[in-house]
Chains A and B, each alone.
Chain A
Amino acid sequence: GESVGLHLPTLSVQEGDNSIINCAYSNSASDYFIWYKQESGKGPQFIIDIRSNMDKRQGQRVTVLLNKTVKHLSLQIAATQPGDSAVYFCAENKITGGFKTIFGAGTRLFVKA
């Protein structure tokens, strides 16, 4: 069935270093992939997205890479800051057909000062 999973449940990085969070997906039919950030006690917050016909997309301090050959998605955070500490979810859906979004289990990012 459809699934979106993450390679590591936790990631610890030093403040100022770059972070890379990885995600594997299994549904080749997904049109669209999204990264969300969830801080304690809050709902998920949109970070960046990418369509299936793209390989890379950049935002402010964040880059999402999509490798369709191996069904792999990654989120790169440059110059990680303490405020980046949170759980990060990758998610996938189809732009047509109901917008049902499937979330992975999440990676907790710890930023050490």
Chain B
Amino acid sequence: DTGVSQNPRHKITKRGQNVTFRCDPISEHNRLYWYRQTLGQGPEFLTYFQNEAQLEKSRLLSDRFSAERPKGSFSTLEIQRTEQGDSAMYLCASSSRHLQVGLGNEQFFGPGTRLTVL
């Protein structure tokens, strides 16, 4: 499978615990994005990497959230001291300026990691 993969697919944790999610983008894609999606809503942008550089962070990304992409390939999103409000689907997407289907920056999404904080 050459699509975007995310692990784990589901995570249940207790409030106050730390969790880490992993995203493996499409191998030729240099851009990687994290989004959060709650039920009935569209994805909300969290952060964006170009290669290993984190170029943009949303105000939604509090100091409890950190994302890395150390070698410009896979990325991790860590949430420390989880709160019930962190329960959501966390989506990863990747794109490449040079590998476009459409006209601009269409992003290819993974299946997401569903986080439930008890």
Contact = CB atoms under 8 A, between A and B. Distances in A.
Partners in one complex: yes
Main secondary structure of the interface of A (DSSP, over half): strand
Interface residues of A, number: 29
A51 B103 contact: yes
B103 A50 contact: yes
Contact of B102 (A49, A89, A104, A106): A49
Contacts, number: 74
A44 B110 CA distance: 8
A99 B31 contact: yes
A103 B48 contact: no
A75 interface: no
Interface residues of B, number: 29
A46 B103 contact: no
Nearest to B41: A105
B102 A44 contact: no
A103 B43 contact: yes
A42 B91 CA distance: 10
